[in-house]
Structure 1
Amino acid sequence: MNATIDWLDDPEVFRVNQLEAHSDHVIYGSKSEINTASSRIQSLNGIWKFKYSKNAQSRPVDFYKKDFDSSDFDEIAVPGHIELAGYDKIHYINTMYPWEGHEFRRPPFTTASIAQTKGLFSQAEYNPVGSYLTTFRLDEKMKQEKVSIHFAGVEQAMYIWLNGHFIGYAEDSFTPAEFDLTPYLEEENQMAVEVHKRSTAAFIEDQDFFRFFGIFRDVTLIAKGKNHLADIWLRPKLDETLQHGQLEMDIQIENILPDSEVHLRIFDPTERKIYEEKLVLTASLSHRVDLGKVELWGHFQPRLYRIELETRKDEEVTEYTHYPFGFRKIEIKDKIMYLNGKRLIINGVNRHEWHPEKGRAITLEDMERDVRIIKNAHINGVRTSHYPNQIAWYYLCDQAGIHVMAETNLESHGSWQKMGAFEPSYNVPGNIPQWRENVLDRAKTNFETLKNHTSILFWSLGNESYAEENIRLMNDYYKEKDPDRLVHYEGNFPNPRFEETISDMKSCMPPQKMFVSILKKKHKNLLFYANICMIWAIH
């Protein structure tokens, strides 16, 4: 397949050759590697060659070819924002799209688009491009395995090539994009990545924040060997007394060797082994374990159990992973929210990933600092406004007992609210079929990546994107896949037709007294979400 620049203009093209989203577990060659480094992972972070171009027409089109002369390229740090490396310009905007007042654009397939989408971004006079180049050799232990490349976050549209071969295309700036590199690997490898600041994804990534672009999260190579643990879905269950627990699990295995086994071990919060079993390895494995009386996970006592999975052939370990999990139950009864049978009152914040010098390219130390601030402020909940955060953040929240609202990467504020008025004539995703799979894929990737985190009590459909059929389908997707969690959406208030079919709760940016009075008349039980007074009202 050959890449085409026209994909930037088409909301129906948002992923090409991407591997399916899967759980965020880390794989190791053996258990001993958890204290050092995984032999299955190789980082490509560091200094890359780089060329900035004002638009697609002026970019070095053939830079991905192995014989291309890149001697005039600069250098740039990966991960990081292109703007903070001295290129382009830092741009902040809230509701409107960043091109308003400069260029006329409407989302494709809306009545206001005038059916003109060709060249919308691909031929724009201003739509900067970053051309990245790096070379690498595979670590010795990875050379005989299938190898994929994992981009944790690239803003906003990305084409990649390996050794001159087109590998794939991705949008969705804040969820992982993974591609198989195996057929094109050589002894010495050249990776080329072309990042465009804007594509049709810009219509649904209109968050209230600084607009950056570039490879701003980690880039890693992953070696997937024999008996590969491809996906894990852990579902801790409590009985009616909230005292006894079961662990249901579904495990997907790839590249299975005959007569292989998976060794399963479970440890309690004190790291005492409480369960062990060997199972015959199959491509799709479901299992349930009765653990008897269990300790509950909560804000003040975030008790975490741990599962180990180890695939083996003839007693030789082929792959290992482990994952923390906790027992807790979130539910709504009589319009009141309960966690583990006790009323839950959220004292929460809407948190952006942010550092005053690094922007959104934050580190683990930055996240650990935020957790300390949150705990010291007696905050018990975080909404990942308004996009999926770095994966490490959810592990930290599991450990710290922070209740998480895991938001999907969706905001189309500029498509329906103009100068404060509700005017959805070109709202996306709306009811438009050509935008449906795009936003459903964002929900799917968010869920599949993060589904095992105990701290996630709520899935959020996004922010300020109005409410129509496509968002209702996102709501239905989460409900069908994960009925044990609640679903939140902030944007159904402007369109009351969807008040009862989207979201388990209501929320809105309030200072309007009228809005508060309406809610009090319709809903006697309100749940207050701190920081800019985000109000949740339980149906």
Structure 2
Amino acid sequence: MANETRIEHASETWLADSTVFEVNRVPAHSDHKCYAHDSQTNEWSDLRQSLDGEWRVEVVQASDIEFNEEPFVRENFDDSAFERIQVPGHLQMAGLMNNKYVNIQYPWDGHENPAEPNIPENNHVALYRKTFTMANRLADTKNAGGTVSIVFHGMATAIYVWVNGMFVGYGEDGFTPNEFDITEMLHDGENVVAVACYEYSSASWLEDQDFWRLHGLFRSVELAAQPHVHIENMQIESDWDPESGSASLDAALTVRNAADAATISATLKNSDGNVVWETANCADPDTSISTGSLNGIRPWSAEDPVLYEFEVTVIDHAGNIAEVAVQKVGFRRFRIEDGIMTINGKRIVFKGADRHEFDPKRGRAITEQDMIDDVVFCKRHNLNAIRTSHYPNQERWYELCDEYGIYLIDETNLETHGSWCLPGDVLTEETAIPGSKAHWEGACVDRVNSMVRRDYNHPSVLIWSLGNESYTGDVFRAMYKRVHDIDPNRPVHYEGVTHNRDYDDVTDIETRMYAHADAIEEYLKNDPQKPYISCEYMHA
């Protein structure tokens, strides 16, 4: 559900309503870096403030709280009796909820039997609180006509958010950012953010991944300020032509309050910081920047992950730098040609693995060092590809894969295995979620949209995945269409069509799980129309 006007009060009904998956959320956008320049001090700032660290929390039964009369959201609420918890972190790892591991079944199977999209009565909610004071650089930006958002980079499974006692918004899909504009709710001095994080919501029907079921705010939470003139989204095509050896970059920018900018200039720099191309454009709300043909550009690949830096500078009418947006880019061309996957004109074979974000002590609240260790392991063991099974990963992972050279299949946060596969591998098409059920379409399309918008500019992302083990149906056609409406170049993978070949049109690649060698050979010898990937072939 998208909202043109702010909704000011929370509703308990959203939890079990599959058509409500966000309220007051900022539209999904690219994860490019933004910096502001202080002309008086000549200092640069990224205008971000971490809210990580110690929070207060209490875990209660969901039936025990009342939304719009709940005292824990108030500024002056006494939370001294609450537990202390580290964010990012999981409630289970802090000993506040029990660990659960479930494969195909839903975690409530055998205990309760709710009909989708309803949720179990035995539902926990974690009441989080954090006190903060805005950093001066964020407060100055706000006072100069900018905005301030609060960003939850990862949570499970649904959150309601309040700031200083005022309702902010509601969000699901905890593996892509849930960002809310809180500009009007902030004041000088101490502010209080309160979050009700629910164990189960209708979103739980879409998140039946085979993993440890862990909850809470498990990725970073931060404040992000944006100047009055702000580049909200960058969608960059950085192509390399293997026939001519020339490259090109085309960037589509969405600029907020563009009329208050005088010019927008852009530069492209190599790894040594030398400018290889530059230009200046007049400001426009939807600015397009094109380099034309570029010579001497080295192409990006896993074997030679050469990155360039694309920098866009916004100048206001007073001649001051309003904002600088920066995105690392890799020039490469990934295509399916005559049924074969190619990168930069050469055939590519994926030697890959599926990867969960996981640490035995921190769960999915992994660190940058965990990610670096995984990348280095891949490079040492001749693994060139990873499928982000079965959800979008932390933003930093994509930057590392760009830098080190790892090909990614970026997977939507979607798995509904327990809805259509009964014990004994009995397929029940009529119970499949989302299937062709219209009431699930909005949430599923939103999930793939959030992933594609966030990760579009990363050269490491070669293929988009619509999800994992969720059967198929018309909802997947809508997801496939959304991906190709945004991105006409990258192919889409979805293995679920192997259960119903009427939906072969929702995948550009033939992908199978645990297929025997003879079955793969038979497919490849019989005039295959699509390239083949074994997207799962061994499990431990």
Global fold match (TM > 0.5): yes
2:373 maps to 369
Q: 2:126 aligns with which of 96, 115, 130?
A: 130
Q: 2:54 aligns with which of 47, 57, 61?
A: 47
- Aligned AA (1:366): D
Q: 1:507 aligns with which of 511, 525, 533?
A: 511
Q: Does 1:148 pair with 2:149?
A: yes
Give the whole-Å Cα distance in 2 for the aligned partners of 1:343 and 1:251.
33
1:197-346 correspondence to structure 2 within 5 Å = 197-239=199-241, 241-256=243-258, 258=260, 260-290=262-292, 291-313=294-316, 314-346=318-350
Distance 1:186 1:283, change over 3 A: same
2:464 maps to 459
The runs of 5 or more residues in structure 1 that have no matched partner are 109-116, 535-539
2:10 maps to 3
- Aligned AA (2:94): A
| Identity rate, percent | 35
Answer yes or no: is the 8 Å Cα contact 2:513–2:535 preserved in 1: no
Q: Cα distance, 1:56 vs. partner? A: 3.2
Answer yes or no: is the 8 Å Cα contact 2:515–2:534 preserved in 1: no
2:179 maps to 178
Distance 1:514 1:246, change over 3 A: closer
Distance 1:267 1:147, change over 3 A: same
Answer yes or no: is the 8 Å Cα contact 1:59–1:129 preserved in 2: no
Q: Cα distance, 1:153 vs. partner? A: 0.6
2:450 maps to 445
Q: Cα distance, 1:58 vs. partner? A: 5.5
CA deviations on 1:30-66 (whole Å, 9 max, x unpaired) are 399xxx9834101100101110113332589321022
Q: 1:83 aligns with which of 72, 79, 92?
A: 92
Give the whole-Å Cα distance in 1 for the aligned partners of 2:344 and 2:444.
32
Q: Cα distance, 1:277 vs. partner? A: 1.9
Give the whole-Å Cα distance in 2 for the aligned partners of 1:225 and 1:520.
54
Segment of structure 1 superposing worse, 45-54 or 507-516: 507-516
- Aligned AA (1:21): A
CA deviations on 1:479-501 (whole Å, 9 max, x unpaired) are 222111111012111112112x1
SS of equivalent to 2:115? coil
CA deviations on 1:227-248 (whole Å, 9 max, x unpaired) are 2111111111234615111111
Distance 1:160 1:530, change over 3 A: closer
Give the whole-Å Cα distance in 1 for the aligned partners of 2:147 and 2:482.
31
Distance 1:39 1:288, change over 3 A: closer
Give the whole-Å Cα distance in 1 for the aligned partners of 2:134 and 2:99.
36
Give the whole-Å Cα distance in 1 for the aligned partners of 2:220 and 2:281.
35
The runs of 5 or more residues in structure 2 that have no matched partner are 1-7
Answer yes or no: is the 8 Å Cα contact 2:470–2:496 preserved in 1: yes
1:113 maps to none
Give the whole-Å Cα distance in 2 for the aligned partners of 1:490 and 1:54.
38
Answer yes or no: is the 8 Å Cα contact 1:106–1:426 preserved in 2: no
Give the TM-score of the pair, scaled to structure 2.
Answer: 0.91
2:165 maps to 164
Q: Cα distance, 1:397 vs. partner? A: 0.5
Q: Does 1:496 pair with 2:492?
A: no
Answer yes or no: is the 8 Å Cα contact 1:56–1:129 preserved in 2: no
How many pairs were matched up? Answer: 518
Segment of structure 1 superposing worse, 251-260 or 342-351: 251-260
SS of equivalent to 2:212? strand
Give the whole-Å Cα distance in 2 for the aligned partners of 1:520 and 1:323.
39
Answer yes or no: is the 8 Å Cα contact 1:266–1:276 preserved in 2: yes
Q: Cα distance, 1:526 vs. partner? A: 6.1
CA deviations on 1:359-389 (whole Å, 9 max, x unpaired) are 1000111101111001001100010000000
Distance 1:450 1:528, change over 3 A: closer
Distance 1:68 1:451, change over 3 A: same
Q: Cα distance, 1:97 vs. partner? A: 0.6
Give the whole-Å Cα distance in 2 for the aligned partners of 1:189 and 1:6.
28
Answer yes or no: is the 8 Å Cα contact 1:404–1:455 preserved in 2: yes
Q: Cα distance, 1:212 vs. partner? A: 0.7
Answer yes or no: is the 8 Å Cα contact 1:253–1:282 preserved in 2: yes
1:345-494 correspondence to structure 2 within 5 Å = 345-419=349-423, 420-494=425-499
1:25-44 correspondence to structure 2 within 5 Å = 25-30=32-37, 38-44=45-51
Give the whole-Å Cα distance in 1 for the aligned partners of 2:38 and 2:532.
44
Q: Cα distance, 1:512 vs. partner? A: 5.4
Give the whole-Å Cα distance in 1 for the aligned partners of 2:534 and 2:244.
26
Q: Cα distance, 1:275 vs. partner? A: 1.3
Give the TM-score of the pair, scaled to structure 1.
Answer: 0.92
1:21 maps to 28
CA deviations on 1:204-240 (whole Å, 9 max, x unpaired) are 1100100011000001101111321111111112346
2:4 maps to none
Distance 1:331 1:75, change over 3 A: same
- Aligned AA (1:439): C
SS of equivalent to 2:498? coil
Answer yes or no: is the 8 Å Cα contact 2:513–2:534 preserved in 1: no
Distance 1:279 1:367, change over 3 A: same
- Aligned AA (2:239): K
Q: Cα distance, 1:257 vs. partner? A: 5.7
Give the whole-Å Cα distance in 1 for the aligned partners of 2:443 and 2:71.
29
Distance 1:220 1:259, change over 3 A: closer
Give the whole-Å Cα distance in 2 for the aligned partners of 1:324 and 1:66.
41
Answer yes or no: is the 8 Å Cα contact 2:514–2:534 preserved in 1: no
| C-alpha RMSD of matched pairs (Å) | 2.2
SS of equivalent to 1:142? helix
Q: Cα distance, 1:90 vs. partner? A: 0.6
Give the whole-Å Cα distance in 2 for the aligned partners of 1:139 and 1:31.
15
Distance 1:365 1:460, change over 3 A: same
